[in-house]
Chains A and B, each alone.
Chain A
Amino acid sequence: MNVPKKGENYELRADLNSEYREKRKDAIKRVIANMTVGKDVSGLFPDVLKNMQTDDLEQKKLVYLYLMNYAKTQPELVILAVNTFVKDSNDSNPLVRALAIRTMGCLRAEKIIDYLCDPLQRCLQDENPYVRKTAALCVAKLYDLKPELAIDNGFIEQLQNLISDNNPMVVANAVLALTDIHNFAAASSATTEKEIFPLNSQILNKLLIALNECSEWGRVAILTTLARYTPLDEKESEHICERVVPQFQHVNGSVVLSAVKVIMIHMRNVRREDLTKQLVRKMAPPLVTLLSSPPEVQWVALRNINLLLQKRSDILQNEMRVFFCKYNDPLYVKVEKLDIMIRLAGESNVDALLSELKEYSSEVDVDFVRRSIKAIGQCAIKIDSSAERCVNVLLELIATKVTYVVQEAVVVMKDIFRKYPSTYEGVIPTLCANLEELDEPEAKASLIWIIGEYADKIDNADELLGVFVDTFIEEAYAVQLQTLTAVVKLFLKKPDSAQGVVQRVLNTATKDCDSPDVRDRAYIYWRLLSTDPAAAKAVVLAHRPPISLPRTTVSPALLEELLTEISTLASVYHKPPETFIGQGKYGADSVQRSAAILDDEATVRRKALQNIVAGQQSENLLDFGDDDEGDNQLSGLAATTIRNTPAAATSIIQNSSNPLDDLVSIFGGANIGNTSPPPIQSQQAGLGFSSLSPTPAAATRAPAAVSPSSAQDDLLGLF
């Protein structure tokens, strides 16, 4: 080896070989300090190794730490450490024995593994529980490196025996190790001939006994395993629930959430109404208490509560107030709280909620303000009787003239108009008065939609829309599409006054617009108007399906799966594990494997899953996740109705950015859920008329055909 003659490492080497104990120890500390800041001290391997044999426990730990870090880079030299390790694993001090076995497992060097088996064998039967619990985990480490070695030496059986150990900590670690090995084996599908960790009633009873005695983390381990257990009958399910419920009183939030998971899983087999009710009732207080934890824990709790509420809306029925946002809550907590408040909103508490939401709408954080305003809209959609109060609050907010508040309120008003058509027309003047304030595409598009929808009742609708037609080319596509539709609506409702403007917009859209979607739509309208104005009316002014708030944000099948994953990453992402876990030895393999055994339900789930992976384009009322800025026509509430039938919805969602959805929805009507991409094409064909290049003449002829008797009751002569 090339040994440097000077520099820090040279000095360290000298000190490591010093004759004075203190000097050597100090040198080791300096080596570790260098390692910590990322300097390469692997060259000192043999010199550090010399200091391994010592009575000084601290020094021993430091040398072990060094070994763990550099064993992989110096596989040849690690062998030199084996003797000391084996000797240490026989030490009279249990701390040293455990340390040796723990570290050996962490070295992850092929060379040393073979020497691990004998000491491990001994430590698994050590008289001291501290050593046994450490050895138990070491088996999992060994299996991770060389499965066959662990199996051939009978370590798996030994672990299974440790489940009967009299020490609860040892039981817990044995359970952890077995579960780890079980998962590993399942993922790599290496050993299928014999199940690694079979669960039966006998083991169940042992686990239930250990549960009450072990440390908090041990409880989490045992509860996780209980979640995997398949009960023999209903009685056993009840038994598990009854034994697990006391864990709700544990201080550690992860014990509580793991207990919730076990209860949610085993409650499925409980048919006794009273017991189910009791379990649900007992679940609420500990969930609320989790909201007094640090914000990160709160967030995990909130994400899980969100899932639980989607399954059982009765869990926290009277607890909405505990979700009111605190001024200092981090934004990610506030956002989750908003979502949950909407879920819990009902006639009895909507007033309190509205006054909160109004308060939030005057906070500083723009994002939070927007979400709060959105939530007001969700209230209106969810609770019919509150709609008027919601509209009043929105009007108050619009009166503040704060631009982003006004814009968000306009977007929300559009949804309210969709849900309650022709109910709040009195608001329209106020909205139109703020036309100048709007600079965001979504807000503009929303207002244009409202103007188009109520064109017959707005005196100066043509003027208002004319403004957007003038700037047509500069607007965002979403605004262009909406302008196009609104002008056509105006024309169909008031053919006389709108002829000029419709001609102008169709011309601009077909000739000067660079978005194919806009051009296509313009062509379709043009042809419709020129060939069959009655059909145009049927299409453009068709009755729209009503919108409502979806009860779930994920498909029912996925929800069921996520409920079995309470307190894990899947439960906070609201995504199945396959979508985010590593593509290493677990990820890819297991996905492929599961693909092979898909049954019908799973197929549906997988579709939903692909959909999620595809980027969650579809905006959902309750899905605050990503705001697609109105690029798709079916944004917001409109999309949500369709999502109620999740299986079929997959196809729709993928198409939701397609501007033709507006048209599709008209034809699809109630059974829109069954429409899949091919039919859309065919309907498009149905609409498409033979000639692909419409002549302006055709369009000008159109108005004549349209019966001018369209009711022009200008209810709102306000402009």
Chain B
Amino acid sequence: MASLVAILDLKGKPLIQRSYRDDVSSSCIERFLPLVLEIEEEGQQVTPCITSQGINYIHIRHSNLYLLALSKRNSNVAEIIIYLHRLVQVLIEYFKELEEESIRDNFVIIYELLDEMMDFGFPQTTESKILQEYITQESYKLEVQARPPATVTNAVSWRSEGIRYRKNEVFLDVIESVNLLVNANGAVIRSEILGAVKMKCYLSGMPELRLGLNDKVMFENTGRTARGKAIEMEDVKFHQCVRLSRFENDRTISFIPPDGEFELMSYRLSTPVKPLIWVEAAIENHKGSRIEYMVKCKAQFKRRSTANNVEIYVPVPDDADSPKFRASTGSVQYAPDKSAFVWKIKQLGGGREFLMRAHFGLPSVKGEEPENAKRPPITVRFEIPYFTISGIQVRYLKIVEKSGYQALPWVRYITQHGDDYSLRTAQEKGSAPIVPLEM
């Protein structure tokens, strides 16, 4: 429960605020940033929750903004923080970008949203699709006054009645993101697969859908044996349309889908995975003159697959200059803003292996050198279509609607990098000296 919600700029000045209860004065907002600075000055962590003089400051960061909620009680902080994130999401869906300017330009509608999304400090409707049905920027263009869509309070609060399509279609995207961490010795020390099933639903009426996956637990429960591989999902999360108790009972995924695009489910597997794209770098650092890299990249997946848009980010010292690159494939660019160079390979076939070299100059005079040098890991971005690393498969998608129409499901698979696909580099790999770059 929040008494007040405000969006602040980085100087701590409120851009917009809404008070829901009068037990917290809005003047407390001004005290937020000084508090943060005070904590930083004392050399302590600024955590998302700060308590001071009986007021609890709960905040999240989004680009150059603070979203702040104040409470005087022992509130459900998970709820408040997730609500703030949801607020960010809704505002982004309304204005494309959420930043100071978009807030100033749209204060009227933000007030409306703040009023609708929370009442007396309790989150209400936070589905932007539903909100957009009755809170719009073009309200004055409407001939008739907006009414609350039944969906706001329906048991099926995510789908309106009376949807019609000439052609009934469903698109399923199974997207798996791989997170993995390789240590400097080349051993995978952590890996996980975060999967998501995204849907685009263009279906008429109130269809009942049932999705079948090669879920190991379900096979075991029903005593059936799987043809081919079955996968063991460690944790599954569903869109609110999925009947959770039904899943708990017999692992059936049944639901009435929202209209249009949404994420039906996400799952997690922590089975160890082999790095799909292996990268290693030999680094030779001649302090005060130059630094040289030799990077090897290897596609460790089946030959018939291809990785698209591979981007390998290799970090370099902040003060590196005059870059020289040579790569056996793709292109290399220096990205000084990221203190890295990027090796881009449009298409990387399975089993292929490539090399690249980089050479940078280093200033001969060094400023005050930090005792521990910054050594961010190498990160890799890629996507491999028609392939799931876990082996998950959609076995069927049954669509039943009382009008009895036929609908076609289309399924796509893709495996891509997660937000943390990184390979640590060794401090100094002095062993194999790099032959000077000839250019």
Q: Is A170 an interface residue (CB 8 A)?
A: yes
CB-CB under 8 A for A294 and B60, given A220-B76, A332-B45 = yes
- Of the candidate stretches B202-210, B242-250, B289-297, B355-363, the one touching chain A is B242-250
Q: Is B74 an interface residue (CB 8 A)?
A: yes
Contact B240 A176 (CB under 8 A): no
Q: Is B239 an interface residue (CB 8 A)?
A: yes
Q: Cα distance A362–B377 when bound, in Å?
A: 13
**Shortest distance from the beta carbon of B9 to any chain A beta carbon, whole Å:** 12
Contact B79 A217 (CB under 8 A): yes
- Of the candidate stretches B112-120, B337-345, B388-396, the one touching chain A is B112-120
Q: Interface size class for chain B?
A: 35 or more
Q: Is A321 an interface residue (CB 8 A)?
A: yes
Contact B82 A252 (CB under 8 A): yes
Residue from A137, A141, A292 within 8 A of B268 (CB atoms) = A292
Contact A581 B72 (CB under 8 A): yes
Contact A95 B77 (CB under 8 A): no
CB-CB under 8 A for A217 and B122, given A362-B372, A404-B371, A583-B54 = yes
Q: Majority SS of interface residues in chain A?
A: helix
Q: Cα distance A304–B16 when bound, in Å?
A: 32
Q: Is B370 an interface residue (CB 8 A)?
A: yes
Encode contact with A along B346-390: 1 for CB under 8 Å, 0 otherwise.
000000000000000000000000111111110000000000000
B residues within 8 A CB of A359? 183-184, 424
Contact B148 A128 (CB under 8 A): yes
Q: Is A212 an interface residue (CB 8 A)?
A: yes
Contact B54 A584 (CB under 8 A): yes
- Which residues of chain A in 163-218 are interfacial with respect to chain B, using CB atoms and an 8 Å cutoff? 167-170, 173, 176, 180, 183, 212-213, 215-217
Contact A249 B238 (CB under 8 A): yes
Q: Cα distance A246–B184 when bound, in Å?
A: 41
Contact B374 A288 (CB under 8 A): no
**Shortest distance from the beta carbon of A493 to any chain B beta carbon, whole Å:** 37
Contact B60 A249 (CB under 8 A): no
Q: Cα distance A543–B146 when bound, in Å?
A: 80
**Shortest distance from the beta carbon of B39 to any chain A beta carbon, whole Å:** 11
- Which residues of chain B in 2-34 are interfacial with respect to chain A, using CB atoms and an 8 Å cutoff? 15-16, 19-24
Q: Interface size class for chain A?
A: 35 or more
Q: Is A230 an interface residue (CB 8 A)?
A: no
Contact A169 B153 (CB under 8 A): yes
Contact A568 B74 (CB under 8 A): yes
Contact B54 A32 (CB under 8 A): no
Most B C-beta atoms less than 10 A away, residue of A33, A55, A250, A254:
A254
Contact A573 B190 (CB under 8 A): no
A residues within 8 A CB of B79? 217, 220, 254, 258, 567
Q: Cα distance A586–B266 when bound, in Å?
A: 41
Q: Cα distance A108–B22 when bound, in Å?
A: 9
Q: Is A364 an interface residue (CB 8 A)?
A: yes
Q: Cα distance A605–B346 when bound, in Å?
A: 63
Q: Is A546 an interface residue (CB 8 A)?
A: no
Q: Is A665 an interface residue (CB 8 A)?
A: no
Residue from A33, A224, A586 within 8 A of B76 (CB atoms) = A224
Contact B370 A568 (CB under 8 A): no
A residues within 8 A CB of B54? 580-584, 587
Residue of A with least CB distance to B157: A215
CB-CB under 8 A for A251 and B122, given A57-B145, A582-B55 = no
A-B contact pairs, 18 of them (CB 8 A): A33-B107, A56-B140, A61-B112, A215-B240, A220-B76, A249-B238, A254-B78, A301-B78, A324-B181, A324-B190, A332-B48, A356-B189, A363-B372, A363-B375, A367-B43, A572-B77, A581-B73, A582-B54
Inter-chain pairs besides A254-B76, A582-B72, A582-B73, 8 sampled, C-beta below 8 Å: A168-B155, A247-B244, A249-B248, A250-B237, A289-B235, A332-B46, A363-B374, A572-B77
Please give me the 7 A-B residue pairs with the lowest Cβ-Cβ distance, nearest first: A285-B235, A582-B54, A582-B72, A577-B74, A254-B78, A129-B153, A246-B248
Task: List residues of chain A with CB under 8 Å of any chain B CB.
Answer: 29, 32-33, 36, 55-58, 61-62, 65, 68, 93-96, 98, 102, 105-106, 108, 128-130, 133-134, 137, 140-141, 144, 167-170, 173, 176, 180, 183, 212-213, 215-217, 220-221, 224, 243, 245-247, 249-254, 257-258, 285-286, 288-289, 292, 294-297, 299-301, 304, 319, 321-322, 324, 326-328, 331-332, 335, 352, 355-356, 359, 362-364, 367, 369, 402-405, 565, 567-573, 577, 580-587, 626
